[in-house]
Structure 1
Amino acid sequence: MDAVSDFDPARYLPDSLIERIRGRAAGVDADNVFPDEDLAELREAGYLGILVPEKLGGAGLSLTQASVLQQRLAGAAPATALAINMHLVWTGVAKVLSDRGDDALRFVQEGAAAGEVFAFGISEAGNDLVLFGSDTAAEPRPDGGYSFTGTKIFTSLAPVWDHLGLHGLDTTSEDAPKMVFAFVDRTDAVRTRDDWDTVGMRGTQSRTTELHGAIASPDRVVRRLSPGPNPDPLVFGIFSVFELLLASVYTGIARRALDVAVVAAQSRTSKKTGLAYSQDPDIRWRIAEMALSYDGMLPQLEAIARDIDERADHGGLWFAKLSGLKHRAVTSAKAVVDEAMLVAGGSSYFSRSELGRLYRDVVAGMFHPSDPESAHSTVAAAWLGPLTP
């Protein structure tokens, strides 16, 4: 089952589950807590293993299908979808690698199928090198493992993760410097700050994580790579799956905003004309503009997801395509939510309003890698070549 047209997302995210998750989203946002009930139900439904091969206990879905599911989940609770995204990134990277004959992340697949949660610990304050550099110290141990000391920011799933996938810089080995990608468990060497009090996406609980000599055992050290851009499949896997699933979440937000705006237009009545706002030419234009934007988001998502699944070769344009995918999805989603707010009127400005929450949630997309500056720089380099010294 590969075709999206033949894929039934309700099999993995039934309507009843979606409605329960949607019903909890406002409370999670207002209370600034992690959606524990959402995670419990998603784990029970096997959602943590949707990208894990069937032979290892998962659902064996493609990235194309996972994208559709994440859009559906984001339409119910964007913060829940974004939090789960970070777990799915690692299972997606494991799939990208295994599809190419590399089983370095088989333990991620096995753990996810068993209900374990994997978090994404890459972001660091002020580190615009992202995957290509790190301020976290990775110190080699005699047994071949590493200890990590540093600070990671925006660690989604902070209260609940079992394993943290991260990177650090080894500056002491004979072949240093090397970027080290590994996984650490939750121990006393990992401290989570209670500092997540944001405008939106509050349920992700993407808190700051302090590493004080957190140890990755030798079998959890996945790669040692030279700093800077690298063609290693792990780097491609992280970047491609991260951008794809982020774009999926924000596309889901756009669809939900469009649906809510349509209901608002049909249910509001003009005192001036006595007609529903759905009969107002200006409102109809806004709805049409939203739908036009949303319709354009779907083909690019499916095309890029399918290309990753089918191992298409875009050569030097891959990173430009992935950066562009995420950038377009976020900017389009934000524009759709902006229009939805105007269609629904002043009531949407209240924090208790679903559109008000979507408005706050969608802003977070601008801060994820690739941010607008990075996306434009990547695309310019792909088409014009690097800047001359």
Structure 2
Amino acid sequence: MTAFDPAAILPDELLERFRSRAAQVDRDNVFPEDDLADLTDAGYLGILVPTSLGGAGWGLAEASLLQQRLAAAAPATALAVNMHLVWTGVAKVLADRGIDTLRFVQEGAVAGEVYAFGISEAGNDLVLFGSDTAAVPTGDGGYAFTGTKIFTSLGPVWTRLGLHGLDTTDPDHPKLVYAFVDRDDAVVTRDDWDTLGMRGTQSRTTELHGAVAPADRVVRIVDPGPNPDPIVFGIFSVFEVLLASVYTGVARRALDLAVDTAKSRRSKKTGLAYSDDPDIRWRIAEMALAYDGMLPQLAALSADVDAQADHGALWFAKLSGLKHRAVVVAKQIVDEAMLVAGGSSYFTRSELSRLYRDVLAGMFHPSDPESAHSTVAAAWLGPVAT
């Protein structure tokens, strides 16, 4: 493995191409296919795949830095590719623990397969602990899935969908089935993504009408409910770290834009540059203090996942807290950047205006504020007495 250099994988000129496209992608409400093509050519889909399988061989800590860098240029592109990286990251987490059932995901990523994340369902606040999608055994070790998944990023372009469903063949002992299906006639992707922000993710609703995962694509069967199974930890850990990375990248871009604005604007009243105004200096310092606090947390927890550190019962509290703090801090920083930039940032042509809309999406990803607080409270106080 060579020394890690984020700028070598995502050079400035490539990021500027992404940034130059982002406003039009948002305005037209389309998927950034040119961005995906550039990322594919750069080997980005395989950054978490071991070198022995043709990938870059990086860990979650390196992927976090790359996603921060990408999100600072094109948040929606970063959030969309996040979902592909979740599955390659889960494959790595499992492989690090001696479970090789997702090797086909690693091989597929290197070959150009694009993996989507089919877990979210309307009204299902159990998330990883339950599913309203029916998983029916096909009799040969495979499963047929029928149900509706929401927020399926990469909607127009994914080639394989990782998902879960509930097998109730034995109603007294239901099982959650994790598997992968191909894009075929049994899968319908609705063209229904028309949102306030993160429009380029094209996180469309996905209908499953008996979509079949063959036996060799059924990767895990577990009991519903809170579960220590490695796939649950793998999904939760990679998902939360990479989400936190994207919104930390958004925060960095907003901070940079605020600094640039403060240096370039001059007060008519005082004649001073905004960068010399004590109120502006205090506001930017607050932004930088908040941003700096996120970096060591991201670095430490992503490295701990890679190193298989043992946080015991606190793992889920730490991960949900990381994601929650990243989104709250990012939103705070974007808010402050808007005030530094002044009224011009309120126009849709402003990049800050787009970041302001994009950052709001963070509150809706698991763990949402309620779930994060519930998880942390349970870790420190124990479960609620019944």
TM-score by length of 1: 0.98
Alignment of 1:233-312 (within 5 A): 233-312=230-309
8 Å CA contact retained: 1:140, 1:173: no
CA distance in 2, matches of 1:175, 1:80: 43
Match for residue 118 of structure 2 among 109, 117, 121: 121
Alignment of 1:134-149 (within 5 A): 134-149=131-146
Q: Secondary structure at the match of 2:216?
A: helix
Alignment of 1:165-184 (within 5 A): 165-173=162-170, 176-184=173-181
Match of 2:70 in 1: 73
Q: Secondary structure at the match of 2:179?
A: strand
Alignment of 1:32-181 (within 5 A): 32-173=29-170, 176-181=173-178
Which residue identity does 2:115 align to in structure 1?
F
Matched, 1:383 2:380: yes
CA distance in 1, matches of 2:245, 2:162: 22
Q: How big is the shift at 1:253? A: 0.3
Q: How big is the shift at 1:11? A: 1.3
Q: How big is the shift at 1:173? A: 4.2
Q: Secondary structure at the match of 1:345?
A: helix
Which residue identity does 1:233 align to in structure 2?
P
Alignment of 1:349-360 (within 5 A): 349-360=346-357
Q: How big is the shift at 1:8? A: 1.2
Match for residue 13 of structure 2 among 11, 16, 19: 16
Matched, 1:368 2:345: no
Q: Secondary structure at the match of 2:209?
A: strand
CA distance in 2, matches of 1:363, 1:309: 29
Runs of 4+ in structure 1 off by over 4 angstroms are: none
8 Å CA contact retained: 1:247, 1:325: yes
Q: Secondary structure at the match of 1:388?
A: coil
Q: Secondary structure at the match of 2:116?
A: strand
CA distance in 2, matches of 1:114, 1:201: 27
Q: How big is the shift at 1:10? A: 1.0
Alignment of 1:186-205 (within 5 A): 186-205=183-202
What is the alpha-carbon root mean square deviation over aligned residues?
A: 1.0
Which residue identity does 2:227 align to in structure 1?
N
Match of 2:340 in 1: 343
Query: CA deviation digits over 1:101-144, x for unaligned, max 9?
Result: 11010000000011110000000000000000000000001111
CA distance in 2, matches of 1:327, 1:61: 25
Deviates most, 46-55 or 268-277: 268-277
Query: CA deviation digits over 1:11-62, x for unaligned, max 9?
Result: 1111111110011000000000000000000001100000000000100001
Which residue identity does 1:350 align to in structure 2?
F
CA distance in 2, matches of 1:42, 1:185: 22
CA distance in 2, matches of 1:175, 1:37: 49
CA distance in 2, matches of 1:171, 1:99: 31
Q: How big is the shift at 1:174? A: 7.9
CA distance in 1, matches of 2:374, 2:251: 26
Match of 2:218 in 1: 221
Query: CA deviation digits over 1:202-234, x for unaligned, max 9?
Result: 000000000000000000001111110010001
Q: How big is the shift at 1:243? A: 0.1
CA distance in 1, matches of 2:139, 2:375: 39
Percent identity (aligned): 80
CA distance in 2, matches of 1:98, 1:38: 29
**Structure 1: which 5+ residue stretches go unaligned?**
none
